[in-house]
Amino acid sequence: MPRIRLDLAYDGTFFSGWAAQPGLRTVEGVLTSALATVLREPVRLTVAGRTDAGVHAAAQVAHLDTSPEAWTALPGRSGRLPEAALLTRVAGVLAREAQESLTRTPRGAGDVVVTGARTVPEEFDARFGALSRRYTYRIADAAAPRDPVRRATVLWLPDALDVEAMDACARPLLGEHDFLSYCKPRQGATTIRTLRTLRWRRAQAGPDAGLVTLSVVADAFCHSMVRSLVGAGLAVGQGRKPVTWPRQLLDARTRQSAAPVAPPHGLTLEEVTYPADDELAAQAERARTTRHLSC
């Protein structure tokens, strides 16, 4: 059975997160339905990161297995490759779904887009095969410009943030730690993660110029971890907590006084990285073992 990697982006504003839930509009639910319509067979997706309700993705990755018959039938009588046919046909289905589900949606535009599709080795696992995930959180404080076009992807705050203090409080969190104070743990899963990058800065150029941004990279994140890291940084930046507090909270390893969770809409998944094909199986096995997960 061919294994297909999907690269996708979505505006999380009107989704109740990634994971399919009865009666709710989710990215997984909408995308699975669209793919099943196009492939004419049931579809099961595995994703790199299950984003929360309201969180966006510029570069999410998922995979699915499909039958050889469904894959080769995609182009129909056209001379296109199955990959190109899948992109075109899924785009149409997703646009129609958005038009029917949301009010005032521009015609032909969906809030989830599959930007790439290709066959990959059967060892590829979008979730456990990933080497790292990178997120960005964007904030417009009192010293930043406010663009109403981006209001759904940038957190607006009325006060000015102490960005230097926020960056200083983040440095002691780097490395491998038990992030229980920054996670909502799942049964059977560890809260130990390796935080490789955690940098607060005020962007000087580009589309984010003037905004306060957090760039965070880790091998993986547990539930609400990134938004909790943002919440701790904001408590310092607003002067409500000292620079030493985020590390003290980390060392406490407790859910009794856990880090505050920042609003979801300022967060975007920016990148997921994978090893070379000959390392895919080994990486997936390491991730499963490290995170003590059986699924």
Q: Let me know if 52 is a catalytic residue.
A: yes
155 neighbors 139 (Cβ within 8 angstroms): yes
CA max distance for the chain: 66
Q: Among all chains, which residue has been given the structure tokens 């980390």? A: 250
Instruction: Please tell me whether 137 is known to bind a ligand.
Output: no
Q: How far apart, in Å, do the first and last CA atoms of the chain sit?
A: 20
Which residue among the candidates 11, 52, 162, 208 is catalytic per the annotation?
Answer: 52
Query: HSE of 33 in the Cβ direction (CA atoms, 13 Å)?
Result: 16
Known binding-site residues for substrate equal 135
Catalytic center residues = 52
Known binding-site residues equal 135
